[in-house]
Structure 1
C-alpha cells in the first residue's frame, strides 16, 4: 500500500488550528500580538498547516473573485486551451493531466502527468518594478481571458491576498524572535503567483478509476501559501505517522500552510507539510471543488540560508536562491523534470510510502 492509498482519518479526528490574526490587522496591543505569534509558532512547529480568521478580506471581494473563476472554468475546453503558456512561464491555463505535482519533489516513479485538476495562474509582473532588471520568464506578463470582469475581480483579490501574506510574515518574524522587518528585504519584489484550481470536469472527460489523482502529493514551494477553498472534501494533509487526513476550512477562514523555503530557513523547526487533493467521487461522478492558492515565494534573487538561531548541530540545507529553488520545482511539476534540489522532501514521501506497505 502506498501513500496514495493510505488510510484517511476524517477531519473530526484531525484538527487544523484556527487562529484569529485580528491583533495584527486591526492594531492590537503587544500582549495580544504575542498570543497570536505563539499560536502561529505552535501550529507551524507541530503541523505546518493552520487556518486564519480576522484576515479582513471583504466577503464581496471573495464573492466576485469566485464568480469570475466559475465563469472562466465553465468555458469549453478548447477555448480555455487558447490561454496556455509554455511550461517555463507560470501563467495562464493548465488543462487536466498536464502536470504532476509529485515530480516537483523529484519522485522519479511519478512519471505520469496525471493530476486531473485544471488551473489558471496570474502573478507579479516585471513592470511593477521598473527600476529592477527582473527575468521576464519568472515575472511574466499576465494573460487575461476574455471573461467579463475577470481581470478586475482577480486583481482585487490578488492585492488582498498579498496583504494577508505580508501580514503573516510579520507574525512569523515575531514568532521566530526576528526583527519585525526581517522578511521585508526578502519579499519587496516577491515572486508571487495566484493559482485558481477547478476539480470538476464534464462527464466522460476522465476515467473514474482507482488511480485518479486530483493533485499529487507535494509540498508548496515558497514561504507561505494563502489558500481560499470551498468546503467540499478532497484536500488531505499527511501527519507524522504517515496517515492522510481530510482538511476543510471553517466558515470565513483561509487555510495557511508553510512552504519549503520556510522549512529551509528554520532548519525544519517549521515544516512544509505534504498535502494532496483526492477527487470526491459521489455515485460515480466527481463533486465540484474549487480553490485559489496565493503563493508568497520571495524575491527571485534572494538567498535562503538557515537562520542562525535554528542551525543547532548543523544545517540540513545548503544555501539556495529563490530562483534556483522555484525553477527546479516548476521544471518538475510543469515540464516533467525530476527536481535535483528536493532530496529531503522526496525522502519524506518515500518514507510515508514505506510505512504504509
Structure 2
C-alpha cells in the first residue's frame, strides 16, 4: 500500500564520492535536505560501492543463513552484546519505542551482527560492552565478503555526514568530533523461513514498527516487497530500492540534532505471504551511530525558538533502545517517536 503521490526521492552522491565541483555538491546537499524534511527515506546512487562487493556480500548472506538453525545458534550472544546471531522471534523492534507489550518477542526475522570493536581503536579506553569483539561463522569467504562491504558502507556513511554538514549549514568537519570512534554495526537480516517454521501468532510481524537509533542508516536490500515507511500523513507506504541504489534513512540522534527538522523515519517490514509461504527477502542495515561518549544536543543551526530534547549521550540512548528490542524492556524515553507509530493505528 502507498499514499497516492508518495515516492522516495533519489540523490546522486557522485559529486561527493568523486570530489566533484562545489555547485554539484551543494545541489546534492540541498536535494537531501528536501528529502529529509519531507519523506525521511532517500535512495542514493553514485555511491561508488563496486558491484562485485555487493555480489560477494549477497552470496555471503546466503551462505550463512542457509546453514541449519542449530549451527547458527552456536553464534548467539547475550542480549546485551549487540553481535552475533539472533534467531527468529527473539526480538521485538517495537519495544525500542515502547509500543508493544513487554516480552512480546515475535519479530520473525533472523539476523547476524558485526561491528566495530575495542581492537579497532588502539590507544582509546573504550567500554568493551559497547565495542565488543566480533564472532565469525566458519563459512568460507563470509568474513572477507562481509568485511569488504562493511568498509564500503562505512565510507558511504561518512560521505553522507559530510553532505549533512553542508545541508545543515555546519562547518566542514563539525561531525568528526562526534563520530571518530563511532559505534557502527552492520545488521544482516533474513526474512525467508522454511515452510512450517512460522506459527501465526496474531498479526505476523517480520520486523515491528521502529525508528533507527543513531545518526544515519545505509540499507542494502533485495527488490522484494515488505519494507514500509510511515509517511507524515500517518499512512504506511511500500518502499523498494531502485536498481543499483542504496536506501538511506535517519535515526533518532539525527532528529535530536536537528530539532526534528530531519525526523527519524518510522518503518517496519511486512513481508508478503503467498500460499502460506513467506517470500525470500534479505537486507543489511549499516548503522552509523556516533561515539559512545558523545553528547548529542540540538545543533546551533537548528535551535530556533528552542528544542524539546534534553542532551543525551550516544551510550545512554543506545542502551535504552537496545534493551527494548533485544531484552524485552520497553523503552519509556521515546515518546515523540512512539506517538507517530500509535497514530498510524498499527503499532506492530
Contact 1:234 1:278 in 2 (8 A): yes
1:166 aligns with 2:158: yes
The alpha-carbon deviation at position 284 of structure 1 amounts to: 1.5
Q: Counterparts of 2:166 and 2:78 in 1: how far apart (Å)?
A: 40
Structure 1 counterpart of 2:134, from 133, 137, 142:
142
Structure 1 counterpart of 2:260, from 263, 268, 280:
268
The alpha-carbon deviation at position 111 of structure 1 amounts to: 4.4
TM-score, scaled to structure 1: 0.95
Contact 2:215 2:252 in 1 (8 A): yes
In structure 2, the residue corresponding to 1:51 is in which secondary structure?
strand
Q: Counterparts of 2:344 and 2:100 in 1: how far apart (Å)?
A: 15
Structure 2 counterpart of 1:9, from 2, 21, 37:
2
In structure 1, the residue corresponding to 2:113 is in which secondary structure?
strand
The alpha-carbon deviation at position 14 of structure 1 amounts to: 2.1
**Over the residues paired in the alignment, what is the CA RMSD in angstroms?**
1.4
In structure 2, the residue corresponding to 1:236 is in which secondary structure?
strand
Structure 2 counterpart of 1:117, from 109, 118, 142:
109
* Residue aligning to 1:241: 233
TM-score, scaled to structure 2: 0.97
Structure 1 counterpart of 2:48, from 56, 75, 86:
56
Q: Counterparts of 1:248 and 1:183 in 2: how far apart (Å)?
A: 30
* Residue aligning to 1:92: 84
The one-character-per-residue Cα deviations of 1:3-58 (angstroms, maximum 9, x if unpaired) are: xxxxx327x84210111110001121111111000001000111111010000100
The size of the alignment, in residue pairs, is 347
* Residue aligning to 1:297: 289
The alpha-carbon deviation at position 309 of structure 1 amounts to: 2.0
In structure 1, the residue corresponding to 2:301 is in which secondary structure?
helix
The one-character-per-residue Cα deviations of 1:156-188 (angstroms, maximum 9, x if unpaired) are: 110000000000000000000101101111100
Contact 2:93 2:207 in 1 (8 A): yes
The one-character-per-residue Cα deviations of 1:218-274 (angstroms, maximum 9, x if unpaired) are: 000000000000100000001112111110010000000000000000000001010
Q: Counterparts of 1:119 and 1:322 in 2: how far apart (Å)?
A: 23
1:300-311 mapped onto 2 (5 Å cutoff)? 300-311=292-303
Q: Counterparts of 1:193 and 1:172 in 2: how far apart (Å)?
A: 20
Contact 1:234 1:279 in 2 (8 A): yes
Gaps of 5+ in 2: none
In structure 2, the residue corresponding to 1:257 is in which secondary structure?
strand
Contact 2:215 2:251 in 1 (8 A): yes
* Structure 1 pair 103–312 and aligned structure 2 pair: CA distance change class (3 A): same
In structure 2, the residue corresponding to 1:309 is in which secondary structure?
coil
In structure 2, the residue corresponding to 1:315 is in which secondary structure?
coil
1:206 aligns with 2:198: yes
Contact 1:219 1:275 in 2 (8 A): yes
